[in-house]
Amino acid sequence: MLDGLMSDYPFLKMLDEEALAIIERNLVQKKVQAGELLINGEEACWGFSFIKNGVLRVYRLNDEGREVTLYRLRKGDSCFMTVICALAQSNTHAYVRVEEDSELVILPILLFEKYLMNHPVYLQFVFKNLYEKFLSVIQVVENVTFNSIEQRVIDYLKEHSRGGLLYRTHEQIAFDIGSTREVVSRTLKSLERKGKVKLERGKILIKK
């Protein structure tokens, strides 16, 4: 099982044979479906997840109970919140929901702490990965704090569209920019009236 993970998690190659054997014996494979809630925000860390495929969305709830996306996890990623709660020995304080059907390989938290958390090569890998996630969180905070809702929607469309098309629901956009579906829908309607977008069922056409 580990052989299939080493290309995406190269720090595994640096562990000694005894550690690799113990880790492999204790790995748990888990297939999860889109929409499934993996972590509910107040759970203790139950393990380190190697992501073989799929997409997970990590988010927080604001004081009004609205979801605000922090970042997404894909193949080869490491979860910022898992590492933090392991170091602090606290709960995650974040939610993780499956956005696309995913396949995970989970290492129990005690073995993660023993064999990986203090390993120099793993720390090098995770700091690079966490830095990228930290930048994503900072961008979310800056957008919510300094940009108007219209500008946040426009920036989001530019960043995530491919070939002038974006296949996202209004609710998904709202989660990612820290707003509500109703506000995003009104903003997109306004942009459509201005001739900047064309709204179709399940997709948005960005006009030049």
Answer with the one of 123, 142, 161 that is the final residue of a domain. Answer: 142
Q: What is the CATH number of the domain that holds 67?
A: 2.60.120.10
Sign of the CA dihedral 23, 24, 26, 32? Answer: positive
Query: Do 162 and 113 share a domain, yes or no?
Result: no
Same domain? For 97 and 26 the reply is: yes
Question: Do 107 and 183 fall into the same domain?
Answer: no
**CA–CA separation, 89 vs 175, rounded Å?**
28
Orientation of helix 120-146 relative to helix 170-177, angle to 10° = 100
Domain boundary at 142, 157, 173, which?
142
Range of the domain at 198: 147-206
Q: How far apart are CA 99 and CA 9, in angstroms?
A: 22
Q: Which of 119, 142, 165 is the last residue of a domain?
A: 142
| pLDDT per residue as tens, the chain (208 positions) | 788 899 998 888 888 899 899 999 999 999 999 999 988 877 767 788 899 999 999 888 877 778 888 888 999 887 766 666 766 666 667 888 999 999 999 998 888 888 887 788 887 887 777 777 777 778 777 777 778 899 989 998 988 888 889 998 999 899 888 888 999 999 999 999 999 999 988 899 998 7
Q: Are residues 171 and 133 in the same domain?
A: no
* Nearest one of 97, 103, 44, 42 to 75, comparing CA atoms: 103
Q: Is 175 exposed, middle or buried (0-12, 13-18, 19+ CB in 10 A)?
A: buried
Element (H, E) at 85: helix 80-88
CATH number at residue 176: 1.10.10.10
Give 112's contacts (C-beta < 8 A, 6+ positions apart): 47, 48, 86
